[in-house]
Structure 1
Amino acid sequence: MNPANPSPVSAVRPAVDAALAEFMEHRRKLMAEIGPELVPVMDALDHMLAGGKRLRPAFCYWGWRGAGGAEIPEIGTAAAALEFLQACALIHDDVIDNSDTRRGRPATHRRLAALHERSGWDGDPAAFGRGAAVLIGDLCLAWCEEMYSASGLGEAALRAGRGPFDMMRTEVMAGQYLDMIEQERGGETVEAALRVMHYKSAKYTVERPLHLGAALAGRHDELAPVFTAYGVPLGVAFQLRDDVLGVFGDPAQTGKPAGDDLREGKRTLVVAETLSRARSGDADRFRTLLGDPALSAESVDWMRALITASGGLAACEQRIDDYTARASAALDTDAIAPEARAALADLIVAATARER
């Protein structure tokens, strides 16, 4: 895109990055005063916050602008607080899934386990890494609240935003719990996969950040239905694209080993669509392989081939098209400011049209 006309994410990223850097600089000094042992904690957080697409702050910002909010630095700071919530969710998710990597580097619990090993401490490095990561995730959740409250927006605006801000945090935790349950009971239905996606990703990634932006600008009640009609289908499409990439994505692009979602046994819509279409013998073999941490490259290739041959992949791609069409149709309204409406249309592509 022309630098004079930046993408809706890149238009927001500098303010978000600057707000996060300032916040972390002050917290790094505080943590160092508590004890030098906390320096690696801040290093791990810096790594986590440096990556990411900044989608949630972007949706919050454009929700604000769509509601007529002015282009002021305070909204960038309030939106940036959502990156701490995202960091919390990712750190905890990696512990739950026992993931090795995040964005092409060791996951936080692996990073802290390596610190334990290098330091020659007593006890189990893996257990230390998991415990430390849980605490770092909790710290991110606390700092999300702190950064939001200290964003500089007026008290009336912050109170108005409290509803969607609180619901966003509640729903993502509830969605994560539902995801864990489906993993444990071997959920295979499309309905179960969609319910997890609805709460763990769709509402959390798109709908609630938009609601928050509109609420901060004083137009939540008017715009919430519009942003829901746009945000929920787009959020599902975003997660579904992520799930497809989790199976077929290029590790250089995804930052995770090829087929890692299959090794972790994630009960995604890709899996549900495949099992609902595959022949019984193939489905049984797929179930046996799913969740095997030692899954070979050959087995990954066979599972990918079945996902394609069964029609599971095509069904997911069709769903992505259908959901993005619904999101696009929801923007056909004069209730959203024109500049924001154009940005939200571009965000449909940014969220779903990622390369494999």
Structure 2
Amino acid sequence: MSAPVRPGHTVPADDRAFVAAVDAALAAFLRGEVENLAAISPDGRHLVDAIASLSRGGKRMRATLCYWGHAAVDTPATVDIVQAGVALELFQTAALIHDDIIDRSDTRRSMPSVHRRFEALHAEHGWALDGTHFGTSAAVLTGDLCLSFSEQVFGSLGAAAASGTRARLVFDQMRMQVLTGQYLDVLEEVAGPSREPAEAVARARTISSYKSARYSVERPLVLGAALAGAEADLIDALSATGLPLGEAFQLRDDVLGVFGDPALTGKPAGDDLREGKRTVLIGFALQQAPADEAAWLSAQLGRPDLDSATIERLRTILIDSGALRRTEQLIEDLHRRAVTAIGLLPAPVPVRAALTELAGRAVSRQA
């Protein structure tokens, strides 16, 4: 049974027009910034070109969640929700750029990652000094510039995004949480082998919550409502929806990072194992596999030279230990919690229907 909604609150049946508007507004913004950077130097366009290329491949999930959070509010305050979506997509692009540097990933969305793109530019022109260092340096600066763009666009929302507003607090917390979660993820890669395996799943879930679950789902959903002037009870209800769904989304990502089809994910098979990701999936295996297999698994994590045979053996441990089954069960449980919370939202039927459909896609996706 859902909570009541006042009569007269109508919203569009789908978000396709909104997503198209975000795409157009994002492209227009970046075209303008190309001109701004080119006025400094023609070489400045390399930075914006890299951002534009990466941002074109996004699913717009965070922007879409912001839209539906905004649509959940009866008589919403006037705000340019399209620009809010652009700000979120720019933040996502910045996070991906930095994430690929940290993980030393060669590809993203079936294209060279941004640091590899700049490394290739160095090689193409035969420039001096270390091409790898140039690529990393240029990508760090590109990610920082993208963060600046995100703040610039969000600030353009005016009073709705001003200091002291609920929306500004949500936006600032989102950025703080994901950066802290990213650090905890990096820390776990190096400190995890020396830490107690019994706590591996709990540590991984904390990382998952702050690195991904909150900023991928819960914060965008709540941000849209906050920009619309939502009351605290709706904010709380949307948070109760977004947190389990966000964690389920990240757990699916973890499974795809080991078992996904590279043709669909755009990443090499088993890439998370080479990167040393100590996810919930890995945590379950460390707790449940025989001691010798758990020790061998832990020793292999983070080895960039893992071959296909070793990857397959690691996958077998994840399956035979029951780690994959436990992770899939957890995804199902979290999805069920999210759908239940959606049903209780004091929001129009189209909003609840859209969020239910998004929840299904988040946990069943193959990329």
Q: Same fold (TM over 0.5)?
A: yes
Letter of the structure 2 residue corresponding to residue 78 of structure 1: A
- The reply on whether 1:353 has 2:344 as its aligned counterpart is no
1:110 pairs, out of 95, 103, 116, with 116
CA drift of 1:342 comes to 1.2
CA drift of 1:285 comes to 1.5
| Counterpart Cα distance in 2 of 1:136 and 1:7 | 37
2:129 pairs, out of 120, 123, 131, with 123
1:30 pairs, out of 19, 33, 36, with 36
Q: Is the 8 A contact 1:15 1:77 kept in 2?
A: no
TM-score (norm 2): 0.91
- The reply on whether 1:212 has 2:212 as its aligned counterpart is no
| Counterpart Cα distance in 2 of 1:207 and 1:322 | 17
| Counterpart Cα distance in 1 of 2:116 and 2:13 | 34
Letter of the structure 1 residue corresponding to residue 359 of structure 2: I
Distance verdict in 2 for CA 1:297–1:160, change over 3 Å: same
**Helix, strand or coil at the partner of 2:343:** coil
**Helix, strand or coil at the partner of 2:192:** coil
CA drift of 1:192 comes to 0.3
Letter of the structure 2 residue corresponding to residue 166 of structure 1: D
1:296-335 → structure 2 map (5 Å cutoff): 296-335=307-346
1:89-168 → structure 2 map (5 Å cutoff): 89-151=95-157, 155-156=159-160, 158=162, 159-168=165-174
Q: Is the 8 A contact 1:19 1:80 kept in 2?
A: yes
Letter of the structure 2 residue corresponding to residue 256 of structure 1: K
Letter of the structure 2 residue corresponding to residue 145 of structure 1: E
CA drift of 1:178 comes to 0.8
CA drift of 1:47 comes to 1.0
2:183 pairs, out of 177, 180, 196, with 177
Q: Is the 8 A contact 1:109 1:129 kept in 2?
A: yes
Q: Give the % identical residues.
A: 46
Q: Is the 8 A contact 1:324 1:348 kept in 2?
A: yes
- The reply on whether 1:44 has 2:50 as its aligned counterpart is yes
Q: Is the 8 A contact 1:164 1:208 kept in 2?
A: yes
Distance verdict in 2 for CA 1:345–1:223, change over 3 Å: same
Q: Deviations over 1:249-303 (max 9, x none)?
A: 0001000000111111111111111111111111122122211101010000111
Q: Is the 8 A contact 2:15 2:64 kept in 1?
A: yes
| Counterpart Cα distance in 2 of 1:267 and 1:157 | 36
| Counterpart Cα distance in 2 of 1:264 and 1:181 | 13
Letter of the structure 2 residue corresponding to residue 155 of structure 1: A
| Counterpart Cα distance in 2 of 1:10 and 1:89 | 25
CA drift of 1:68 comes to 2.8
Q: Is the 8 A contact 1:8 1:343 kept in 2?
A: yes
| Counterpart Cα distance in 2 of 1:256 and 1:69 | 43
Q: Deviations over 1:73-132 (max 9, x none)?
A: 821121221011101111111111111111111110011011111122221111111111
| Counterpart Cα distance in 1 of 2:231 and 2:47 | 37
CA drift of 1:52 comes to 1.4
CA drift of 1:147 comes to 0.9
Q: Is the 8 A contact 1:8 1:346 kept in 2?
A: no
Distance verdict in 2 for CA 1:69–1:26, change over 3 Å: farther
Q: Is the 8 A contact 1:9 1:54 kept in 2?
A: no
Distance verdict in 2 for CA 1:311–1:245, change over 3 Å: same
State the match for 1:3 in structure 2: none
Aligned residues: 350
TM-score (norm 1): 0.94
Q: Is the 8 A contact 1:226 1:330 kept in 2?
A: yes
| Counterpart Cα distance in 1 of 2:105 and 2:322 | 28
RMSD: 1.9
| Counterpart Cα distance in 1 of 2:337 and 2:232 | 21
Q: Is the 8 A contact 1:247 1:260 kept in 2?
A: yes
Q: Deviations over 1:116-171 (max 9, x none)?
A: 111222211111111111111111111101111224xx514654411101111111
- The reply on whether 1:249 has 2:255 as its aligned counterpart is no
CA drift of 1:334 comes to 5.0
Distance verdict in 2 for CA 1:223–1:73, change over 3 Å: closer
| Counterpart Cα distance in 1 of 2:148 and 2:207 | 25
| Counterpart Cα distance in 2 of 1:7 and 1:273 | 40
Letter of the structure 1 residue corresponding to residue 86 of structure 2: A
